[in-house]
């Protein structure tokens, strides 16, 4: 079992920045994939950014150049730095982790954190 705890969401104005954090605990030895997904009202959950144990990264086209995924292995934590936020970035952001290949979602999810971009 892997437990994931997210933090860092909130309300921000367009053009602003936020940093999300996701701390993992439990059977972390089995994790080779960690990612951030988001789900806006009435839409399907989508990949935002992901990182593998080898350091490879993948980003949605809509966030390339604005968002950066990173990790701190000592803290078992990944981060999502979100800059130049737009209203269309408004969603619940979920942390994902586990064993996965080909950028598919892994088996463990966090509880989600709300990000609202509005003036």
What digits encode the pLDDT tens for the residues 57-84?
999 999 999 999 999 999 999 999 999 9
DSSP state of 75: G
In this prediction, residue 89 carries a pLDDT of 98
State both tokens at 44. Answer: 């399907």
Rounded Cα distance, 75 and 10, in Å: 23
In this prediction, residue 71 carries a pLDDT of 95
In this prediction, residue 8 carries a pLDDT of 95
In this prediction, residue 119 carries a pLDDT of 95
What digits encode the pLDDT tens for the residues 4-35?
999 999 999 999 999 999 999 999 999 999 99
In this prediction, residue 4 carries a pLDDT of 97
Q: What is the mean pLDDT of residues 106-110?
A: 95
């Amino acid at each position: 079992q892997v437990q994931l705890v997210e933090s860092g969401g909130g309300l921000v104005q367009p053009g602003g920045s936020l940093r999300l954090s996701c701390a993992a605990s439990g059977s972390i030895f089995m994790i080779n994939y960690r990612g951030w997904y988001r789900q806006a009202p009435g839409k399907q959950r989508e990949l935002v950014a992901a990182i593998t144990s080898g350091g490879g990264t993948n980003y949605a086209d809509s966030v390339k150049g604005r968002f950066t995924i990173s990790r701190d292995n000592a803290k078992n934590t990944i981060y999502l730095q979100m800059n130049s936020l737009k209203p269309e970035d408004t969603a619940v952001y979920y942390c994902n982790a586990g064993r996965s290949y080909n950028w598919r979602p892994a088996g463990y999810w966090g509880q989600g954190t709300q990000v609202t971009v509005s003036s």
